[in-house]
């Protein structure tokens, strides 16, 4: 008898996690809370429980005999949902409230890196606007301004001139654009190089790195337009040599997990390292306490082992096995509602997208209308992912799928993967 698993979250990341679990022999049934109606196409169940209602989720797990829980998004992790599950005797995969601070507070993460000599940009933290403005004025641009707390991936401004930096500070301190996330600000030196995402399964001091990927943050082609939560991703990242990845594992991931364990906040779950390959080696841009989105949608399709068995092993304190298809390329393109990320226009009709066995559609911001058709209900609507022998073939293939649809009220980038093909 296979396992029953509950996944918490509602986006394409959770769709990918649930789909990957369900494909594995060890898992018979997956429910996502609250999920979205696009997931039903893959035989995934959903239940309309809010990810912030910990008590209702605990009752649901107990009443329906779920074996364990996978927590997808950052907010419930930072709010301590794993602690609440543990107190109720439920196994949940994800970091504790204390460990999730590595994402919940940029300042916490920076201090941790300081103490353990983990390479990252030089920084200062401010809770006073004038002191922050003075620092920017003295330092000059380019410079990076980050709201300290959670801002859904949008609280970061890479300012190439001083005016942009000062505006970003006013957004945070005067307009309170990020609410309590902006009570403190971290100001960092600008780092130059190619970014890449290195995610690992972690259990205390043991960790199992995944293949790296690269996300495209800007809304429009050629990396133009505002920062988003991510418009597409691909893996592998051929322009980042394996030696750089190995160095990142030894100088960043290992000391981070060992340092957290040593300091009494051991990390279990998915540690996401957002890194940049500089001339001085890889450095940390940010840590997240969970799978990245859209990176998950191109990394998990490379998994050749049983995801459910691997996570069960970690939850039981045993050694998991994770194996990957390192020979193919995966590429995913986000289709977003017009106006994303600033002024999202909802309600666009989402067409039925046909894909072959090497491709998949992962749904994010969708709802059902009265006829049971999918409509856009958020900024990022869905992601189309494909696997092919190399990045160019994957890119050609994914755009051949998407370009034939008339996507009224939605848009996408036409150049995902371009940095790999230069």
The span from the CA of 82 to the CA of 71, in Å, is 8
CA angle 29-202-153, nearest 5°?
Answer: 85
Phi, psi angles (nearest 5°) of residue 288? -120, 155
Rounded to 5°, angle at Cα 77 from 72 and 83: 120
Burial group, residue 29, by CB count within 10 angstroms (0-12, 13-18, 19+): middle
Pairing of strands 68-71, 92-93: parallel
Predicted local distance difference test score (pLDDT) of residue 148: 75
Alpha carbons within 13 angstroms on the beta-carbon side of residue 391 total: 18
Instruction: Report the pLDDT value the prediction gives residue 147, as an integer from 0 to 100.
Output: 82
Q: For residue 180, what pLDDT is reported?
A: 57
Give 187-203 pLDDT, tens digit per residue: 999 999 999 999 999 99
CB 179 within 8 Å of CB 260? no
Torsion of CA 390, 395, 397, 399, to 10 degrees: 180
CA 55 to chain centre: 25
| Contacts (Cβ under 8 Å, ≥6 apart) of 393 | 329
pLDDT for res 107: 85
Which domains, ranges and CATH numbers included, belong to the chain? 3-96 (3.40.50.20), 122-189 (3.30.1490.20), 194-315 (3.30.470.20), 329-420 (3.90.600.10)
Retrieve residue 311's tokens: 């996570």
What does the pLDDT read at residue 179?
Answer: 58
Residues of the chain with pLDDT under 50: 152, 181
Pair type for strands 68-71 and 3-9: parallel
Measured from the Cβ of residue 343, the count of other Cβ atoms closer than 10 Å reads: 9
Q: What length does the chain have?
A: 422
Q: What digits encode the pLDDT tens for the residues 315-328?
A: 999 999 999 999 99
């Amino acid at each position: 008898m296979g396992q029953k698993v509950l996944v918490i979250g509602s986006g394409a990341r959770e769709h990918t996690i649930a789909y990957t679990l369900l494909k594995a022999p060890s898992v018979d049934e997956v429910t996502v809370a609250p999920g979205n109606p696009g997931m039903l196409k893959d035989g995934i169940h959903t239940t309309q429980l809010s990810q912030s209602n910990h008590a209702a989720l605990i009752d649901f797990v107990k009443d329906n005999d779920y074996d364990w829980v996978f927590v997808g998004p950052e907010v419930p992790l930072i709010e301590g949902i794993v602690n609440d599950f543990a107190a109720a005797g439920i196994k949940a995969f994800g970091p504790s409230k204390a460990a999730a601070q590595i994402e919940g507070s940029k300042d916490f993460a920076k201090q941790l890196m300081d103490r353990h000599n983990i390479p990252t940009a030089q920084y200062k933290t401010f809770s006073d606007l004038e002191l922050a403005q003075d620092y920017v004025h003295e330092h000059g641009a380019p410079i990076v301004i980050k709201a300290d707390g959670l801002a859904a991936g949008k609280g970061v401004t890479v300012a190439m001139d001083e005016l942009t930096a000062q505006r970003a500070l006013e957004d945070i301190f005067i307009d309170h654009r990020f609410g309590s996330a902006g009570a403190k600000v971290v100001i960092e030196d600008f780092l130059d190089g190619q970014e890449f995402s290195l995610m690992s399964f972690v259990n205390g001091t043991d960790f199992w790195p995944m293949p790296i990927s690269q996300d495209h943050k800007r809304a429009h082609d050629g990396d133009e337009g505002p920062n988003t939560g991510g418009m597409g991703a691909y893996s592998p990242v051929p322009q980042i040599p394996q030696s750089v990845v190995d160095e990142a594992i030894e100088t960043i991931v290992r000391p981070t997990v060992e340092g957290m364990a040593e300091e009494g906040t051991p990390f279990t779950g998915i540690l996401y390292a957002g890194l940049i390959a500089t001339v001085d080696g890889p450095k940390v841009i940010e840590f997240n306490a969970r799978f990245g989105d859209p990176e998950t949608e191109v990394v998990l399709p490379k998994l050749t082992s049983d995801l459910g068995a691997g996570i069960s092993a970690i939850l039981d304190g045993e050694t998991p096995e994770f194996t990957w298809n390192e020979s193919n390329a995966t590429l995913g393109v986000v289709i977003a509602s017009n106006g994303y990320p600033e002024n999202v226009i909802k309600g666009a009709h989402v067409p039925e997208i046909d894909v072959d066995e090497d491709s998949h559609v992962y749904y994010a911001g969708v709802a059902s209308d009265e006829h049971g058709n999918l409509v856009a209900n958020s900024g990022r609507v869905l992601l189309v992912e494909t696997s092919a022998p190399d990045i160019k073939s994957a890119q050609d293939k994914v755009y051949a799928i998407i370009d034939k649809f008339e996507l009224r009220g939605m848009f996408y980038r036409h150049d995902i993967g371009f940095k790999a093909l230069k």
